[in-house]
Structure 1
């Protein structure tokens, strides 16, 4: 397995060339340099089996401010590869990258039915400070390019990098 920065073309393929507003938002962000796309590559078949995106700036300054706080999202590892420590390796490499860029804080949201397991994982990586509960996901857009509202909140956690 190899952890590396992936290309916008690889992101397009991974997302099935969906051409949705969210897809286009991510493509534009990668092309502009505001989003960095990190992936886990299976060296045997060159398939991407994990992903994590760094936003250097966000519409929501509590997430990322373009100065000293970055935001992580769309953190996934394909099911057959879960439980092998790959998510941890990807997260540690990405946190190192955030520090390399001079950022001293990073945030991540927890928003699904697997909340307790994810909270435990994220806590182990230093995301221990709850800074906000939010209903809108500014990185998931509807057909009118507006942020999607969710009844259940996303908890935004902060990691103060050392």
Structure 2
């Protein structure tokens, strides 16, 4: 298993949706991925998305994410069969380290 960024189609698949039947929340998330305003991270278990963490780099409410040094994490989950084994901690740590490398120091 490894941690990687996923695209909006993979996010929709994980959420049981398609581009033809998106909920408003999914549409908002996808639009932000397309605009490089957000990142969708996952645990890849041999092609199965086994966890997720969404990062907003910028939001209208800059108290949460300001596009400079502050990001907002949300939509975090780990597959039920992998919970309690440290995968969630590893995913969050990996993403926070990635953000630090980009100059983001507040999440």
TM-score after normalising by structure 2: 0.92
Answer 1 or 2: which has greater strand percent.
Answer: 1
- Partner in structure 2 of residue 42 of structure 1: 45
Which runs of 4 or more aligned residues in structure 1 lie more than 4 Å from their structure 2 counterparts after TM superposition? Answer: none
Q: Which residue of 2 aligns with 1:20?
A: 23
- Structure 1 SS opposite 2:75: strand
Q: Distance in 2 between matches of 1:61 and 1:32?
A: 17
1:79, distance to aligned residue in structure 2 (A): 1.2
**Unmatched 5+ residue regions in structure 2?**
none
User: Partner of 1:5 in structure 2?
Assistant: 5
Q: Considering only CA atoms, is the larger Rg found in Structure 1 or Structure 2?
A: 1
Offset of residue 104 of structure 1: 1.5
Specify which structure has the bigger relative contact order, considering alpha-carbon pairs within 8 angstroms and separated by 6 or more residues. Answer: 2
The count of aligned residue pairs is 104
RMSD between aligned residues: 1.0
Taking structure 1 as the reference length, what is the TM-score of the superposition?
Answer: 0.62
